[in-house]
Amino acid sequence: MGLFSKDIKSMEDLFQHQLEDIYYAEQQIEKNLPTMAEKATSPELKAGFEKHLRETRTHVQRLEQVFAVIGKEAKGVDCEAIDGIIKEAKHVAKNVDDKEVLDAALLASAQAVEHYEITRYGTLIAWAKELGYTAAVKPLEANLNEEYATDKTLTSLAEKRVNRLAAA
């Protein structure tokens, strides 16, 4: 995000900018999750990506509610951070042949995405409270909770993978 851009003058501007940033990020994630689901070998991982794709569509809609709360039009702003994470994920996935290793790479990339979202939502919730955007807190928290749950699922899938390898 262009954090130092001159048109961000107040906390309200900063909140709006951060909201546009995560709105863009969620849309990029929505665009890329189908490919990740396609590439996953483990049926559980595939199902996990498909479930989170459905949730991500809801995240976009909840963010539109937040735009409505602050009386601004829903629009995204290029987010270099999520672009970088997704670009790296694609690059790694393209260079992995072994299916087992590819699943590990997809898990790691997906966790990087979730952690990015978690940090963004944490900040937005704190700022929404600070600015008195009370009605924005609930939809933001709903998104955050689903990111947490997804991260937890990914961790348990990663652990299962390691245990499976150890038992082989």
Query: Rounded to the nearest whole angstrom, what is the least distance from the CB of residue 94 to Fe ion in the complex?
Result: 22
Q: Which is nearer to Fe ion, 12 or 51 (CB)?
A: 51
Q: Is 40 left (phi over 0), alpha (psi -120 to 50) or beta?
A: beta
- Number of residues written out for the chain: 168
Selected from 59, 120, 121, 140, the binder of Fe ion by CB under 5 A is 59
Show the binding pattern over residues 108-147: x = contacts Fe ion (CB under 5 A), - = does not: ---------x-----------------------------x
Q: Which is nearer to Fe ion, 12 or 62 (CB)?
A: 62
Q: Which is nearer to Fe ion, 39 or 59 (CB)?
A: 59
Exposed/middle/buried for residue 3 (C-beta within 10 Å: 0-12, 13-18, 19+): exposed
Which residues of the shown chain bind Fe ion in the complex (CB under 5 A)?
56, 59, 117, 147
